[in-house]
């Protein structure tokens, strides 16, 4: 007898994330540039409100401006909305590795990364925890907030804090049971799914800001139960999935090579130091015998 295939409604449909880069360029605001921005903000607000601000209001705006350094992202003016082709960054895993490899505190490489990925939500924004929301430009990002976000992802991947991450981000039950459950906001865990009906039927979730895209990859990995560990190379901060190859210590072949070079240099340095000590001992003994 021919085996009956499951009813269509019971078939699983796979989905994937698609990250589309928006044309946003980033610059670092620090020193005089930041002062300029700080001075200009109340003026811009006044122009928008079409009235003078009171000294109290000016002081209030100045107080609310985050301390330097800041990163400012501006959306390039798009002339023709329907013909400008946006680029897709297809390899999200590599992008995430690149994000984890950024040296913490290095503003230039962070700005470079943001220029590569485009949109990133503002830190001071009320939608800080809501990366899926539409952004208004220019956006301002505090570097410290980016590093804190990265540490959160790290904790979630490395299992240090997976439980609290789950509680904070994903609903306890995916199925809302009450009216209220429907309204509990989990904005970072809120995605718009579209069906792609080409040769393969699949769901596609399109994301347009890098923070949400990185976040989505972490959610997907956690949902699949993938365990991670930190790359063993000194100075590398990239976690990688634990696969059947248990001996794997480094997140990439390149890191493995670098670690080997680091180790060899260390051995040579120790050798040189031992040699120096030996010579010093010898010469001090020599001096002793002269007395």
Q: Which residues form the interface with Zn ion (CB under 5 A)? A: 231, 233, 236, 238, 251, 255
Cα–Cα distance measured from residue 202 to residue 54, given in angstroms and rounded to the nearest whole number: 56
**Helix and strand totals (H; E) in the chain:** 9, 9
Cα–Cα distance measured from residue 125 to residue 141, given in angstroms and rounded to the nearest whole number: 9
The residue written with tokens 């290095």 in the block is 106
Beta-carbon count within 10 A of 289 CB: 6
Strand partners, 87: 21
Whichever of 58 and 230 has its CB closer to Zn ion, that residue is: 230
Spatial contact of 193 and 139, defined as CB atoms under 8 Å apart: no
Whichever of 153 and 255 has its CB closer to Zn ion, that residue is: 255
Rounded least distance, CB 251 to Zn ion, Å: 4
Whichever of 141 and 231 has its CB closer to Zn ion, that residue is: 231
Rounded least distance, CB 156 to Zn ion, Å: 19
Rounded least distance, CB 181 to Zn ion, Å: 41
Rounded least distance, CB 214 to Zn ion, Å: 17
Rounded least distance, CB 235 to Zn ion, Å: 9
Rounded least distance, CB 112 to Zn ion, Å: 19
Whichever of 216 and 238 has its CB closer to Zn ion, that residue is: 238
Q: 138 is written with which tokens?
A: 């220019």
Whichever of 116 and 234 has its CB closer to Zn ion, that residue is: 234
Whichever of 71 and 238 has its CB closer to Zn ion, that residue is: 238
H/E segment holding residue 257 = helix 253-290
Rounded least distance, CB 218 to Zn ion, Å: 18
Collapse the DSSP code of 150 into the 3-class scheme (helix H, G, I; strand E, B; otherwise coil) and give the result: helix
Say what angle helices 92-101 and 143-157 make with each other, to 10 degrees.
Answer: 120
Cα–Cα distance measured from residue 288 to residue 284, given in angstroms and rounded to the nearest whole number: 6
Whichever of 186 and 227 has its CB closer to Zn ion, that residue is: 227
Closest to 120 measured CA to CA, from 24, 29, 198: 24
Whichever of 66 and 256 has its CB closer to Zn ion, that residue is: 256
H/E segment holding residue 194 = strand 193-197
Rounded least distance, CB 51 to Zn ion, Å: 55
Sheet holding 201-207, edge to edge: 87-89, 15-21, 201-207, 193-197
């Amino acid at each position: 007898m021919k085996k009956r295939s499951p009813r269509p409604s019971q078939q699983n449909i796979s989905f994937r994330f698609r990250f589309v880069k928006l044309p946003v360029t980033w610059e670092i605001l620090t020193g005089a540039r930041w002062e300029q921005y700080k001075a200009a903000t109340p003026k811009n607000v006044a122009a928008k409100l079409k009235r003078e601000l009171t000294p109290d209001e000016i002081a209030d705006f100045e107080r609310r401006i985050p301390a330097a350094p800041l990163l400012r992202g501006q959306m390039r003016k798009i002339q023709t909305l329907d013909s400008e082709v946006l680029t897709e960054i297809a390899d999200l895993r590599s992008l995430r590795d690149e994000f984890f490899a950024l040296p913490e505190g290095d503003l230039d490489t962070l700005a470079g990364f943001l220029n590569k990925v485009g949109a990133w939500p503002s830190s001071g924004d009320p939608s800080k925890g809501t990366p899926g929301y539409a952004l208004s430009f220019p956006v301002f990002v505090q570097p410290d907030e980016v590093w804190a976000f990265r540490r959160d992802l790290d904790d979630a991947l490395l299992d240090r804090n997976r439980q609290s991450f789950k509680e904070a981000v994903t609903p306890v039950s995916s199925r809302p049971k009450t009216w209220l459950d429907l309204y509990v906001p989990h904005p970072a865990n809120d995605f718009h799914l579209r069906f792609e009906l080409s040769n393969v039927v699949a769901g596609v979730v399109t994301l347009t800001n890098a923070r949400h895209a990185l976040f989505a990859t972490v959610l997907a990995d956690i949902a699949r139960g993938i365990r991670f560990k930190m790359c063993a190379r000194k100075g590398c901060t990239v976690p990688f999935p634990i696969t059947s190859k248990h001996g794997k210590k480094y997140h990439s072949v390149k890191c493995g090579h670098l670690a080997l070079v680091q180790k060899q240099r260390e051995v040579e340095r120790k050798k040189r130091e031992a040699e120096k000590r030996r010579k010093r001992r010898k010469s001090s003994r020599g001096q002793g015998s002269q007395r």
